[in-house]
Amino acid sequence: MSTLIRRLLAVVLLALAGLAMAPATFASAHPIGASAVYLTVRADRVDVELALPLDKLNQAIGQQLDGTPAAIEAAYPALSRWILAGVRISDASAAPYRLTITSLEPQEVNGTRALDVRISAVPASGRLDGDLTLDYSLVLAEVPGHKAFVFLVSDLEAGQVGEGGPSPLGSLDASDTQLSVERGSASAWTGFAAMVGLGAKHIADGTDHLLFLITLLLAAPLLAVGGKWAQRRPVRSALGRTLGIVTAFTAGHTTSLALVSFGLISFPTQPVEVAVAGSILVAAIHALRPLAARGEVVVGGLFGLVHGTAFATAILDLGLDTRATVVAVLGFNLGVELAQLVVVALVLPVLLLLASRSGYRWLRIGLASFSAVASLCWAVAVLTDTQTVLQPVFDLITAYPLPSYLLVVGAAVIGWLATRPRPALSGSSDGLAV
């Protein structure tokens, strides 16, 4: 392994070690001045989180709590009775769930002091039965015009595993204090299938992950001689190298996906996203000039750890318990692998076709250079909290994946035909063709 690769490994591992065990944060959308209700539906219970603005709460209960832990603790008996009287959850059996307050803590949401309430709602049967009904009246009756916005964090068994944080279900006020949560045909298999779909979608929509994989594949059909890409590999050898790349990348992202999803390690989001951009840059450099023997396999495995950490965000946002996380990790990872295999099956034949022509060098240099520029643009966008300047290009490709792919295939075929060797011309002694 070259000195460059060893240094690269050391830098990345030290950076990850420095970030390990950093506290993970979960930012929920919360309308300013309104109450918020977050529902996380599990197989045997519903976890409820309430964010009650402290000024509205004081107005409703006729007290002046200052939001300190001591004040909350002193008012706990009366507060807990008042809260439990204003929340009711039931399902198709119509039997109300048994509610238990698990925590009652002050917090600040969007610059507003609030009371954070965690409630565990357990059905008498021990299993959820069909659709849920939420009856909620806290603060609504006592404070005119006050609203409570209800969000679904996740419902794995019902297949509700969308990305981007909690999904809004509706709002409640004094005139309408009831809301239904439809669950359809909820089951463990429904949840597993939903996670497979989410994993596949994460790859299909993740242009950074796609670009990293495709850039790694640029070198798969080639052999390195004297520190340069010098000649084409036999097809069987290229397929074996591709298998090594995919296997290394899979091993890397599967490992970190599981570790982060189960809360064994954690990393801040921004450094991870910058590291993902950096992985594309390293893959691009290797495509331009080999960093080491089997360098694309090393890069795929090493930075697979980084990409798996980014993948785990989709699972962490669901707020799952341990049992549900097992289903989610297995399903999500399967979806990622299936989508990854589809990408390889679509891209590799094109690369193998073009690698047989001298013009492949310029294609490799062009695509690797684009990847390098894209990675730097992504890093800048992450650090400045803006969109990359290349986002319109990526949006266009994501919106029209099939036409984009067919356009690439068409250009590849034209390039292959245009650069095919011409048969030698036979001619007379004066050099003219006969």
Question: What three-state secondary structure class fits 77?
Answer: helix
The tens digit of pLDDT for each residue in 303-344 reads 999 999 999 988 988 888 888 999 999 999 999 999 999 999
* Share in percent of the chain as helix, strand, coil (round to 5): 55, 20, 30
Residue 294 burial (10 A CB sphere; 0-12, 13-18, 19+): middle
> What is the reported pLDDT for 11?
38
% residues pLDDT > 90 (the chain): 46
Decide which of 148 and 19 is more confident: 148
Count the Cβ atoms, other than its own, within 10 Å of residue 212: 28
- At residue 146, φ and ψ (nearest 5 deg) are -75, 145
- Cα(307)–Cα(82) distance, integer angstroms: 46
Is residue 434 predicted with pLDDT exceeding 50? no
Q: Is the pLDDT of residue 63 over 60?
A: yes
CA separation for the pair 121, 132 (Å, rounded):
11
Q: CB neighbours of 22 closer than 8 A, spacing ≥ 6?
A: 266, 267, 268
For the segment 211-232, what is each residue's pLDDT rounded down to a tens digit?
999 999 998 898 888 788 877 8
Task: Compute the distance between CA of residue 33 and CA of residue 144 in angstroms, rounded to an integer.
Answer: 13
- When the pLDDT of each residue in the chain is averaged and rounded to a whole number, the result is 85
Predicted confidence at residue 2, as pLDDT, reads 46
Return the SS3 of 353: helix
What is the band of 22 on the pLDDT scale with cuts at 50, 70, 90?
very low
User: Residue 31: pLDDT band by 50, 70, 90 thresholds?
Assistant: low
* pTM tops 0.85: no
For the residues 374-388, what does the mean pLDDT come to? 92
C-alpha pair distances (Å), 251 with each of 105, 243, 300, 321, 356: 41, 12, 9, 24, 31
Strands 132-136, 178-181: pairing is antiparallel
Gap between the Cα atoms of 84 and 68, Å rounded: 21
Look at residue 280 in the predicted model and tell me its pLDDT. Answer: 94
- The model's pLDDT over 125-167, given as tens digits with 9 standing for 90+, comes to 888 888 999 999 999 989 999 999 999 999 999 999 877 678 8
The pLDDT, as a whole number, for residue 123 is 94
Confidence of residue 50 (pLDDT cuts 50, 70, 90): very high
Residue with tokens 């049992």: 323
d(CA 269, CA 160): 23
Higher pLDDT, 430 or 123: 123
Q: What was the pLDDT predicted at 296?
A: 82
